[in-house]
Structure 1
Amino acid sequence: MNSVKTYTLFTDHDIYLFKEGRHYKLYDKFGAHSVEKDGVKGVYFSVWAPNAKKVSVIGNFNNWNHKDHILYPRWDESGIWEGFIAGLTWGTLYKYAVETAHGEILEKSDPYALSWEQNLQAASLVSTTWYEWDDKEWLENRWKVNSLKAPLSVYELHLGSWVREIDAPKQFLNYRDIAKKLVPYIKEMGFTHVEFMPVMEYPYDPSWGYQITGFYAATSRFGSPQDLMFLINELHKNGIGVILDWVPSHFPGDANGLHRFDGSFLYEHEDPRKGFHPDWKSYIFNYGRNEVKSFLISNAMFWLERYHVDGLRVDAVTSMLHLDYSRNEGEWEPNMYGGNVNLEAKAFLQEFNTAVYKEFGDNIITIAEESSDFPMLTKPVHAGGVGFGMKWMMGWMHDTLDYFKEDSANRKFHHHKLTFASMYMYNENYMMPLSHDEVVHGKASLIYKMRGDEWQKFANLRALYVYMFTHPGAKLLFMGDEFGQTSEWNFTQSLDWHLLEYPVHKGLQTLVKDLNHIYRYEAAFYENQFDPSGFEWVEADDVENSVYIYLRKGKKRDDVCMVILNLTPRVLDYKIGVNAGTQWEVIFNSDDEKYSGSGVKSEIFLEKNEEWMNHPKSISINLPPLAGIILRQKKDKKYKLHRIKHKR
């Protein structure tokens, strides 16, 4: 006798939207839900398996027997199997036993499960995302923090290796323990947001979370869904936004995952030219299938709604948009127009951005990791764009790192690697990323990408950070880079926090703190960061001296800062053209001794009313070696240095 009773959470309208690809809250329907039927408490299960011959629920409650609890197929040809099992409660372990059309029995974890076991079997758990949030004030005002006209400085981290206990280096910290350490650190450092590498359930630690099996489950490596919510809640209460890495580009072929879910190519594209990723040996979603679109967009909504996250950074967008990505000639099929754009993937991304911005407005941000020059990625969908809020500025990252790898004597031959970004920096809304991808796989840590002896390496990196934090666009820095982690990132262990015992590392960390505070409190650096009116070159062509000078401007006429980079190891006396009636003061010098610099003071030692650099007036200033300095146009009130004070 079948112990499953008939029950449904779906309305006819739900089914219609699901099949149309426009149901964006499927997590309210699919999965395991604690309900009551005829006065009896239990769990309602529902799963999409349209090509299955039979689907049953197996678990620790029936000794994993696939014959006892068989779900009912819906009458509406939606492919949904559902039913109610009395007596089950939170913590029940379960899977779906899916009998394929050929009689094969596949044991599958629930695609909509809220929690998964942390072992090889990785069963799903009947769970809940109920949590008593305490971040109402943040949610009501976060549109100000997430605005394109606000400073946005992101600290990217991997929860498993940011920090571990000294006496238990092989053990992960719980989300709550991470909160105790992370919240005060981010607050002190001055970052506006954190970005977590994927927190969705994944089976393989070396994938860093990018090979996801449980798209709706917070990984149990670090605790329960409520533990992750506690971490996010604490960040919000302290004025810190949370961005999650989201991976709608591919999934692994684990036996209990989405691959061949009902014996057919259900979630993935059947044609391997579109459905298999040659680099990652994973499977690509079928973006042309409406039910798959509903699954993915609902997943984005889930993290934004249930976990209160403030943004999604969408991984591997380039691979999604290009049919020929990492494929040789003959290994891909052109689209209907003969091009290489995956039109179904583009339409999906447009639908995703339209849906989440319609639901949450400017309270959230979507960010594309996209390394090509795909057009209009951050333009509105109604104008023909893809609709992202921002895009990683990969060209800027590559050019900048290539430049700083050069010996100072050779930099004159590569001078315009640092000016080239100004040719296109307003084509999109850019975020400048120095991410985890730049410090793994033999690429070396950031500090060891720099040329020269130890002093020069740190001076170069300090100057690079000045360039990054004063360049138009949002900022992203990977954990450890703020204090000069010397080894490549290793996901199996904590960062080398002991390095902060050394002055050069402590000084670099102090510099990043101060740059964050200048970026956040000087309107010149953020108000027009996505507007051409916010930037002006003063000197872009001094190849021989490797000097760069530019202005950053806010909305008010006197909100102006000047950035000067001297990227040679020589102290220079330098003459700069300025506007009539302006006076300037030095507010930041990366060569300051408190940053472990050489201590060469940068002072304006001469002002003349003579034309220079096509300006009616000039100033003379000494430039420290391998350094970046920031000048501020004086106002009636003197610049308040307390703005960049911080706890020591």
Structure 2
Amino acid sequence: MNILEYDPYLEPFKEDLSKRLFDFARTKKRLLGVDGRLTDFANGYKYFGFQQEADHWTFREWAPNVEAAYLVGDFNDWDGKSHELKAGYGGVWELVVPGKLPVGSKVKVQLMVDGKPLYRVPSYMNYVVQNERYEMDGVIYEPSYQFKHQAPALGKEAPLIYEAHIGISTEEYRINSYREFREDVLPRIKADGYNTIQLMAIMEHPLYASFGYQVSNFYAASSRFGTPDELMALIDEAHGMGIRVLLDVVHSHAVKNVGDGLNLFDGTTSQYFHEGERGEHREWNTKLFNYGKDEVIHFLLSNLKFWLDVYRFDGFRFDGVTSMLYHDHGLGTAFTDYSKYFSLNTDVEAVTYLMLANELIHEFRPGATTIAEDMSAMPGMALPISDGGIGFDYRLSMGIPDYWIKQFKKKTDDQLDLMELWWELTIRRPGEKNIGYAESHDQALVGDKTLMMWLADAEIYTKMDIHSQSLVIDRAIALHKLVRLVTFSLAGEGYLNFMGNEFGHPEWLDFPREGNGDDYQHARRQWSLAENEGLRFKYLLAFDQAMIALEHDHDFLAKSNEVQQKWVKNEDKLLAYQKGELLFVFNFHPTEMKQVSFASGPVELIFDTDDAKFGGFGPRSSFNYEAGSFSAELAARSAMVFKLTSKD
């Protein structure tokens, strides 16, 4: 196992790592036989639910605990006597009807348990709407969109991810649509230089305020934002712009709603979920999947292939991976030594499921990208399965946003510890690739603040115009740029930004709900702030665009093994390092210009955070190169980026 070569400290846990591979191989053999393939196994969406055949249509549902089953809807006046399903093998129920599907009809499956009817949204429903009682109804829907563009290959490019939520992407006080996002927001993302979009809240969820993380209908694209065809058009247009699209997939838990989703679907708690306490996430008030059950594995793996195949997503960011990995969901556990990863607390069935998921995704779509949201830093998360890993391409650098929040919430600027900062940004699991970020949607939720709000606070409302004088805003803009540049260049082999944070979007995120009077004030994006020539938000947007362009021009993010620390002097708040062909020099000192000098090749200045076009006061800094020696004098709270040249 190459994982031991990457990290020799794992040697005492060699047997645990071997068991990881053994459980994976054993489960694959149980599911597939000797020569089967996961791409052929994960076809539930082609069999269950509604299927239009040449001269008839079928409907199938898995419900092993029921006595009888009927399909009801407005196409038969909600009377299932004429559409009774027949029992088949393994708890599968089937209906065959001559002719064409009654497209557009609202439907439910009526399941009889102990002589009483249960009404459920079919589990493979691809379109679901809320009715007047705020309950979910299935709608028979046949997508007709014809894709025009091939998905762009990421190749050796670093993923530059724009995390986005369709609903809050309008400036108006309402929920935005797939169509309007395609028309209005996609061009912004393209102009900003991001090559990947990560879409949140796509899988259908009853509660808008759940941010999409309490899923009811795993195969349905949320009808709040439009139709499946409109989502397909959005993804297709992004592909035409050279932008890949990832789905924020939620397989870590499911909503508890009965009737809308999978909970008590056939009258039992154990159909999809664990029985008793193990099936309950007490903190989230949600249900937990039984990853050791073959039918559940089939449902979830088919779900992944469905989004890749039908909608042509380019991969996934897996939400809540830490919760999946451990029986205590990582709550209250400090992962201070390796034994915490290989204990009775580890859910080995969930680990096996994640390995199966990654193999399926990369087998079906070799160029797909998978990202794990894991706070525990499980060894091997982003290593190939063949090396003893779990198979993700990237893990999120989740500790870094917390580091920045703590810095600005609890410490003064002169207490910034550059060695601690260097450690936070550069130390990660050997051989594993990370997505670095300074803040995501998590840091913007109600009760917290974005980085710009921590830095600027109330003056963001009164002093962001270009004619106002404010030391608070000067500091906020300068540090916002420094935080982003140092995180961007050091924290991972890819980068993520949440929608609007590139220009320092004010305030927090809070969805309309009873507690705030159903207000949309904080559930929208104020794009006009960055477009207003009289406001300083435009400087932060210009900076972000120029920073992203650095990667396009110099391809340095993936070169983590080429990082060389050139200078660190904590009392002066000076930090310098070389990565690839670029030299980064930072002065974090709050008030004073500082000098740095070290041996280097000849350089060319290509980026200055203090530039006036980025809201700075420059050019104030200066540099010099003579006979193998580089020196620079940097203004307070500024950074410069140099390209090493061959000219001496």
Q: How does 1:194-213 map to 2 (within 5 A)?
A: 194-213=197-216
Give the alignment partner of residue 326 of structure 2, picking from 299, 322, 330: 322
Where does the alignment leave 5 or more consecutive residues of structure 1 unmatched?
Answer: 1-14, 554-559, 610-616, 638-648
Report how far residue 426 of structure 1 moved.
Answer: 4.2
Report how far residue 401 of structure 1 moved.
Answer: 3.4
**Counterpart residue identity of residue 447, structure 2:** G
Q: What number of residue pairs does the alignment pair up?
A: 578
Q: How does 1:335-414 map to 2 (within 5 A)?
A: 339-361=344-366, 363-405=367-409, 408-413=412-417
What secondary structure, in the 3-state scheme, does the structure 1 residue paired with 2:616 have?
A: coil
- CA deviations on 1:180-235 (whole Å, 9 max, x unpaired) are 11221111111111111021111111011111111111111111111000001111
- CA deviations on 1:100-140 (whole Å, 9 max, x unpaired) are 2x23321010111111123323211111234211113xx3x
Deviates more, 1:432-441 or 1:493-502: 493-502
> CA–CA distance in 2 between the matches of 1:314 and 1:176?
25
> CA–CA distance in 1 between the matches of 2:177 and 2:46?
27
Report the equivalent of 2:575.
548
Deviates more, 1:383-392 or 1:440-449: 440-449
Give the alignment partner of residue 496 of structure 1, picking from 526, 538, 541: 526
Q: How does 1:8-157 map to 2 (within 5 A)?
A: 23-37=41-55, 41=56, 43-74=57-88, 77-86=89-98, 88-100=101-113, 102-119=114-131, 120-136=134-150, 139=151, 142-143=152-153, 145=154, 147=155, 149-157=156-164
What secondary structure, in the 3-state scheme, does the structure 2 residue paired with 1:84 have?
A: strand
Report the equivalent of 1:643.
none
> CA–CA distance in 2 between the matches of 1:320 and 1:380?
19
> CA–CA distance in 2 between the matches of 1:427 and 1:396?
19
Give the alignment partner of residue 589 of structure 2, picking from 562, 568, 578: 568
Report how far residue 474 of structure 1 moved.
Answer: 0.6
> CA–CA distance in 2 between the matches of 1:209 and 1:340?
28
Call closer, same or farther: CA 1:16–1:278 in 2, change over 3 Å: closer
Report how far residue 73 of structure 1 moved.
Answer: 0.8
Report how far residue 413 of structure 1 moved.
Answer: 4.9
Check conservation: 2:413, 2:590, Cα contact below 8 A: no
Report how far residue 308 of structure 1 moved.
Answer: 1.0
> CA–CA distance in 2 between the matches of 1:594 and 1:267?
59
What secondary structure, in the 3-state scheme, does the structure 2 residue paired with 1:350 have?
A: helix
Residue 488 of structure 2 is aligned to residue 469 of structure 1: yes
Report how far residue 460 of structure 1 moved.
Answer: 0.5
> CA–CA distance in 2 between the matches of 1:520 and 1:51?
56
What secondary structure, in the 3-state scheme, does the structure 2 residue paired with 1:324 have?
A: coil
Report the equivalent of 1:437.
442
- CA deviations on 1:367-410 (whole Å, 9 max, x unpaired) are 00111121110111122211001000112332233334465553
Call closer, same or farther: CA 1:84–1:424 in 2, change over 3 Å: same
> CA–CA distance in 1 between the matches of 2:331 and 2:187?
46
Report how far residue 305 of structure 1 moved.
Answer: 1.1
Report how far residue 336 of structure 1 moved.
Answer: 14
Report how far residue 255 of structure 1 moved.
Answer: 1.8
**Counterpart residue identity of residue 588, structure 1:** F
Residue 640 of structure 2 is aligned to residue 626 of structure 1: no
Call closer, same or farther: CA 1:289–1:498 in 2, change over 3 Å: same
> CA–CA distance in 1 between the matches of 2:353 and 2:285?
22
Residue 621 of structure 2 is aligned to residue 591 of structure 1: no
Call closer, same or farther: CA 1:538–1:414 in 2, change over 3 Å: closer
Report how far residue 268 of structure 1 moved.
Answer: 3.5
Check conservation: 1:403, 1:418, Cα contact below 8 A: no
TM-score by length of 2: 0.84
Report the equivalent of 1:602.
621
> CA–CA distance in 2 between the matches of 1:406 and 1:583?
40
> CA–CA distance in 1 between the matches of 2:631 and 2:421?
26
What secondary structure, in the 3-state scheme, does the structure 2 residue paired with 1:367 have?
A: strand
Call closer, same or farther: CA 1:456–1:527 in 2, change over 3 Å: same
Check conservation: 2:572, 2:594, Cα contact below 8 A: no
> CA–CA distance in 2 between the matches of 1:130 and 1:109?
22
> CA–CA distance in 2 between the matches of 1:632 and 1:419?
24
Give the alignment partner of residue 511 of structure 1, picking from 543, 546, 550: 543
Check conservation: 2:436, 2:488, Cα contact below 8 A: no
Report how far residue 628 of structure 1 moved.
Answer: 2.1
What secondary structure, in the 3-state scheme, does the structure 1 residue paired with 2:488 have?
A: helix
> CA–CA distance in 2 between the matches of 1:69 and 1:21?
35
Check conservation: 2:149, 2:240, Cα contact below 8 A: yes
Q: How does 1:168-179 map to 2 (within 5 A)?
A: 169-170=173-174, 172-179=175-182
**Structure with the larger helix share:** 2
**Counterpart residue identity of residue 373, structure 2:** E
Report the equivalent of 2:27.
none
**Counterpart residue identity of residue 382, structure 2:** T
> CA–CA distance in 2 between the matches of 1:336 and 1:441?
32
Report how far residue 241 of structure 1 moved.
Answer: 0.8
> CA–CA distance in 1 between the matches of 2:121 and 2:413?
59
Check conservation: 1:278, 1:327, Cα contact below 8 A: no
Give the alignment partner of residue 301 of structure 2, picking from 297, 300, 303: 297
> CA–CA distance in 2 between the matches of 1:426 and 1:408?
33
Residue 549 of structure 2 is aligned to residue 528 of structure 1: no
Call closer, same or farther: CA 1:234–1:599 in 2, change over 3 Å: same
TM-score by length of 1: 0.84
What secondary structure, in the 3-state scheme, does the structure 2 residue paired with 1:450 have?
A: helix
Report how far residue 454 of structure 1 moved.
Answer: 1.3
Call closer, same or farther: CA 1:56–1:17 in 2, change over 3 Å: farther
Give the alignment partner of residue 500 of structure 2, picking from 480, 498, 513: 480
Where does the alignment leave 5 or more consecutive residues of structure 2 unmatched?
Answer: 1-29, 334-338, 457-470, 512-519
> CA–CA distance in 1 between the matches of 2:128 and 2:32?
28
Report how far residue 97 of structure 1 moved.
Answer: 0.5
Check conservation: 1:250, 1:285, Cα contact below 8 A: yes
Report how far residue 418 of structure 1 moved.
Answer: 3.7
> CA–CA distance in 2 between the matches of 1:26 and 1:80?
12
Report how far residue 322 of structure 1 moved.
Answer: 0.7
What secondary structure, in the 3-state scheme, does the structure 2 residue paired with 1:67 have?
A: helix
Report how far residue 245 of structure 1 moved.
Answer: 0.2
Report the equivalent of 1:162.
169
> CA–CA distance in 2 between the matches of 1:564 and 1:424?
22
Report the equivalent of 2:468.
none
Report how far residue 420 of structure 1 moved.
Answer: 3.3
Q: How does 1:234-245 map to 2 (within 5 A)?
A: 234-245=237-248
Percentage of pairs with the same residue? 28
Residue 231 of structure 2 is aligned to residue 228 of structure 1: yes
Deviates more, 1:415-424 or 1:437-446: 415-424
What secondary structure, in the 3-state scheme, does the structure 1 residue paired with 2:50 have?
A: strand
